[in-house]
Structure 1
Amino acid sequence: MKIASIPVSICLSMLWTIWLFSCEGRKENAEDLKDKDNGWGIPSEAALLQQPEFDSAGLAQGKALYDIYCWACHGETGMGDGAAGGAMGSQPANFHSEAVQAQSSGVLFWKIGEGRGTMPAFADVLTDEQRWYLVAYIRHLGSGKAEVESAPGPQALREGIKVEHWMKVAPRAIRILYERERHRLWYVTFEGEVFRFPLDRPYEVEKVLSVEDHGISRLQGAALHGNTLYLTGNIRVNDNKGTTGWMMRIRWDKDQPVVSKVFSTVEYGTTNTPFDHGWSATAISPDEKYIYVVSGSRTDHGEVQDNLGAYPGSRDEPLTARIFRIPIDAEDLLLPNDIEELKAMGYVYAEGLRNAFDIEFDGQGNLFAVVNSGDYDQNEDMFWVREGHHYGYPWVMGGMETPQQFPGWHPDPENDPFLNTAAVARLDDFYNDPGFAKRPQGVVFTKGMDNYGPDANKFRDTATGKVMDASDLKIPITTFTPHSSPLGLVIDREQKLPGPYKGTAFTLRYTKGSKSGLMKPFTELGEDLLHLEMSYNPEKDNYDLRTTRVAEGFSQPVDAVLVDNDLFVLEYGGRQRGGNIWKVSIE
């Protein structure tokens, strides 16, 4: 199978070209290979494979393939710091490491083809020539001499929208918050750091907490309530094979942090995959009595994910794929991994949400969530979240039934166009599955919101398998283009925005089609800001949605916060470069 050629402009010096080609003469003997095997089972002949010589255009092909298939886990600069790899127990390889650079190109070529554990096998996805292109580009990244192309920065797409750079931020930033009383912005990183600064003086940024202060080593959620910060995430246990969810409360007393635990969970298994989403989005209820918190799914679509046998037969758990409601004054709760106990305690608010990475209240107290679907070509959801409702996961995502729930289903990429070509590398997660969980009896699944476009509404037609634009057909879809990864949901709940933006909402698409093998069949667009006009439809007892792109050109936009007429957009960034905060003025 071949993918379309993608033009990428990369300037290379002649010295670099000579260095790259000289690497290919390097060989490993059998003893060297044994020392570097680390459980891969590398055949001795792999070290003898010789890379073809490529010019700069071949290296450009390698970069294009890297952006589509590797970037999400291994990171923009190849340091193993991609956001999708953050959930894994065994972290993606750092191509700058001596261990990787010491391996022959033949071994790297073989590993790309075969895969192991969480590393997909690409032999049936990429041609031999494309795998050699990747090897060349991996060498390029790992040399330390590679220059990542500088994007022009975000650009406004509509009148009344202005985008300007506000500040650089620490690597792997994940949440941004606004403290109204002191007119400050806060942001937190995936690795547990917390920063704050006066909104009008971003150069006065101060680091106020580290992971040692609160203990959450995989931090994905945060909320502010007065002078109190709530942090949510996961801590690995059982030699990194299991996990526990945590929420910590940090109250500032005379500018000194006082730390206490809101809750933790009992142990349950991680999956060692990008699907293990963990505890994330956190929001304070309008009446200030509760904290709402999301626990994402631990699987892609309800399949068995046993973490290489550590938790046999495990799929999703009672502590996953749900939104929980916790009293704001709770102290040191222990949440059990038992759905009946959790419901009896009153903590389960809604079920069946795969990865609601962001939630937000509107001015009337309604809760909304943007939700990521799995690797199958189902649409991404936006839900009006109501107490006691079930939203369909793992049986329904994006308004479409998950085929693996049906005992007679056999995955066949040749005949099932919804088995995305990029996901074929992980085809082991799709299989005939008679043990798939049965649908809960008597439960009616609540649909996602219908999106009437004009943007972010591509879909794959169930009858033909072709990618269609719902606007061309004058029909809605449920809800966004597949694999968009909507994040950073904000709502103008105080009705302060001007003109057509008053009382409306925004969300970010983290993914970009030109950099994602999953999303690429649908669109080249993404990493953009979507304007959402929501209107209640009494016939559906649900909200309809109209979606318009208003800015593009962000790099891994992960969260946003609205301050008066300004939207501050946070970028995730890698370990090497960090991200940015952009100020989007709405006039």
Structure 2
Amino acid sequence: MHQTWNNRILSLVFAGALLGSCATKEDHSEGEWTVPEPAAAMANPLQKGPDHLREGQVVYRLYCETCHGTTGLGDGPAGQALGGHPANLQSEVIQSQTDGTLFFKLSVGRGVMPAFQEVLTETQRWQLVHHLRSLKNTRMEGDSATLPQALVPGISISRWARVAPRAVRIWTSQDGHYLWYATLPGEVYRLSTDRSRAPEKMLDVSDHGIPRLQGATWWKDRLFLSGNVRVNDNKGTKGRLVRVGWDAEGKPNVEVVFTTEVYGTTNTPFDHGWSALQISADEEHLFVVSGSRTDHGEVQDNLGAYPNARDAALTSKIFRIPLHSKDLSLPNDLDSLKAMGVLFAEGVRNAYDLALDQEGRLIAVVNSGDYDQNEDMIWVREGHHYGYPWTMGGMETPQQFPDWVPDPDTDPFLNPGAAAWPNDFHNDPDFPRVPEGIRFTPGFLNFGPDADKFRDKKTGLVRDASDLGIGMTTFTPHSSPLGLVFDTEERLPGRFKGKALVLRYTNGQRSALMQPFTPHGEDLLLLDLELDGSGSNFLLNTYRVAEGFTQPVDAVLLGKSLYVIEYGGREKGGNLWNISFE
């Protein structure tokens, strides 16, 4: 039970601040954050000691790390979708504030920062203040990183290289002589696979014009990059895809494949943007993912800049672009996109990774929202609709139903620690209805034994699909599956031959959303896929084969080695791991 204020005056101060935050949310993204003097003057009633520091760290990992980063530098991955950056909690600006000021701010929240007064007890919030103090001058050097561990025989893991901060993609040149990787701010690096040459920085954002880079792939002697460009004072965005070649002197030659019409951003972590790229099996087209701009189809108006805006024609879809296109303009209109022949599939929330299997079928792994819906793995086919925003992970989105009451005390699927709670989960009688004649294509059924925890629709309890002898669609909620690869050339030995592998980015020990389901995550899964009896979809078994990565964001298979790259935060950089299959 939440503790109450001992001081009635301070209770009124907090109540007034909370009411003000609801009434003036549009003012919270900018300007000075004024804290009432009585709140700022409060002293931490808890003595600083190992027990309170430890508990504060636990709270921080669950509720703060995803935006503010492991050491508080403001480099958490979820925060990178926001118009601004989460605060650097190590900075003098933060550390010079009083304990009462920090306690007040984390209690009432502001803008996209959640209020924790109803989520954490008073004691937990004071413990969190102690932990914030301990972050000052903390650093996590790469040489101290823990070596990931193999969970099955036949795997060895070694650190292959250090990489720049905010890495998001890794791929290989077709001759296999180089590993390439890209960072979210638009840097592109090249590493020789025989390590005969020093790492080279090949591109910067000034070369290709994509300041939020999320997609990259190689075809013959050309590099394709995709991402977003902020416009309209950061209130709007447009997608951009470019093709890059190099002349004999090593100078890049950049061609624009397409740009999109401007549409609204959301100033939330749900703005997923233009991400995954995949060359089609016939090498005639390029598949491009455009993630959703909302968590689950709710209105996201970006502080009033785009009134009544939900998802758009240019979001939550997969496009197919002719490989040699140049200077296309993609309109934010569904009928026009269909008439152009570029729209391939709809209803895909955040397919952050695509891959082709041995038969050239396009497979995607999809991240669901802040409600406890499962994460999907889908076979992407032309003209199919995969359900978003009306269904994710085989479960309907409740906000589409007028009689739904959004209350974590009565709806166990609604976690009060979610970024979308409370502002984005509400009774929504104007939620769009399912278009007439649309049939949703379901995700794969996962029969475990791993990554198969789910919340039971009838009881709300967390269950294990393999323990029950059933399949679930597809992975444990909030896993964030990334780095999908297929051993299409069947070079891997033993049980890995011809199989698929995927990373889970989230860790149950560091995520308030994933924690009710599992302590696992930040791991590597082996996927054993087979077509179902009708041949229209897939069944899979999932096995954890390695763990201990830190924010693993992408992977590439080269010969008998899988290279896993870590996000690496905003400043310190991450690791590139070599997983050898013996």
Q: TM-score, normalized by length of structure 1?
A: 0.92
Residue 225 of structure 2 aligns to a residue in which SS?
A: strand
The offset of 1:148, in angstroms, is 7.7
**Match status 1:552 vs 2:550:** no
CA offsets 1:301-334 (integer angstroms, 9 cap, x no match): 0001111111111110000000001111111111
**Match status 1:368 vs 2:363:** yes
Partner of 1:24: none
Residue 216 of structure 2 aligns to a residue in which SS?
A: strand
Partner of 1:200: 194
Partner of 2:377: 382
Q: Output the CA distance in 2 between the equivalents of 1:581 and 1:40.
A: 39
Q: CA RMSD in A?
A: 1.6
**Match status 1:106 vs 2:100:** yes
Letter in 2 for 1:235: V
1:496 aligned residue (486, 491, 494): 491
Q: Output the CA distance in 2 between the equivalents of 1:147 and 1:258.
A: 38
Partner of 1:476: 471
Q: Is the 8 A contact 1:281 1:358 kept in 2?
A: yes
Residue 130 of structure 1 aligns to a residue in which SS?
A: helix
Partner of 1:574: 569
**Greater mean deviation of Cα atoms: 316-325 or 530-539:** 530-539
Partner of 1:13: none
CA offsets 1:198-233 (integer angstroms, 9 cap, x no match): 112076211111111111101110010112111110
Partner of 2:321: 326
1:241-320 matches, within 5 Å, as 241-254=235-248, 255-320=250-315
1:153-172 matches, within 5 Å, as 153-172=147-166
Q: Is the 8 A contact 1:121 1:426 kept in 2?
A: no
Partner of 1:123: 117
The offset of 1:42, in angstroms, is 2.5
The offset of 1:539, in angstroms, is 2.6
Q: Output the CA distance in 2 between the equivalents of 1:77 and 1:332.
A: 42
The 1:417–1:250 alpha-carbon spacing in structure 2 relative to 1, beyond 3 Å, is same
CA offsets 1:510-565 (integer angstroms, 9 cap, x no match): 00000000000000000000000110113362010110001000000000000111
**Match status 1:76 vs 2:87:** no
Q: Output the CA distance in 2 between the equivalents of 1:264 and 1:544.
A: 37
Q: Is the 8 A contact 2:176 2:558 kept in 1?
A: no
Q: Output the CA distance in 2 between the equivalents of 1:203 and 1:107.
A: 51
Q: Output the CA distance in 1 between the equivalents of 2:84 and 2:299.
A: 18
**Match status 1:46 vs 2:39:** yes
1:348 aligned residue (340, 343, 346): 343
Q: How many residues align?
A: 553
**Match status 1:62 vs 2:18:** no
Residue 510 of structure 1 aligns to a residue in which SS?
A: strand
The 1:493–1:2 alpha-carbon spacing in structure 2 relative to 1, beyond 3 Å, is farther
Partner of 1:229: 223
1:139 aligned residue (118, 133, 140): 133
Structure 1: 4+ residue segments shifted above 4 A: 145-151
CA offsets 1:324-364 (integer angstroms, 9 cap, x no match): 01111111111100000001101110000100000001121
Letter in 2 for 1:79: L
Q: Output the CA distance in 2 between the equivalents of 1:538 and 1:388.
A: 22
Letter in 1 for 2:134: H
The offset of 1:96, in angstroms, is 2.4
Q: Output the CA distance in 2 between the equivalents of 1:343 and 1:38.
A: 43
Partner of 1:400: 395
The offset of 1:105, in angstroms, is 1.5
**Match status 1:413 vs 2:398:** no
Q: Is the 8 A contact 2:2 2:122 kept in 1?
A: no
Q: Is the 8 A contact 1:458 1:468 kept in 2?
A: yes
Q: Is the 8 A contact 2:2 2:118 kept in 1?
A: no
Letter in 1 for 2:42: L
Residue 426 of structure 1 aligns to a residue in which SS?
A: coil
The 1:492–1:336 alpha-carbon spacing in structure 2 relative to 1, beyond 3 Å, is same
**Greater mean deviation of Cα atoms: 405-414 or 555-564:** 405-414
Q: TM-score, normalized by length of structure 2?
A: 0.93
Percent of residue pairs identical:
59
Q: Is the 8 A contact 1:172 1:572 kept in 2?
A: yes
Structure 1: tracts of 5 or more residues without a match:
4-36
The offset of 1:286, in angstroms, is 1.8
Residue 137 of structure 1 aligns to a residue in which SS?
A: helix
**Match status 1:93 vs 2:87:** yes
Q: Is the 8 A contact 2:374 2:478 kept in 1?
A: yes
The 1:440–1:133 alpha-carbon spacing in structure 2 relative to 1, beyond 3 Å, is same
Q: Is the 8 A contact 2:239 2:259 kept in 1?
A: yes
Q: Output the CA distance in 1 between the equivalents of 2:352 and 2:508.
A: 20
Q: Output the CA distance in 2 between the equivalents of 1:540 and 1:288.
A: 25
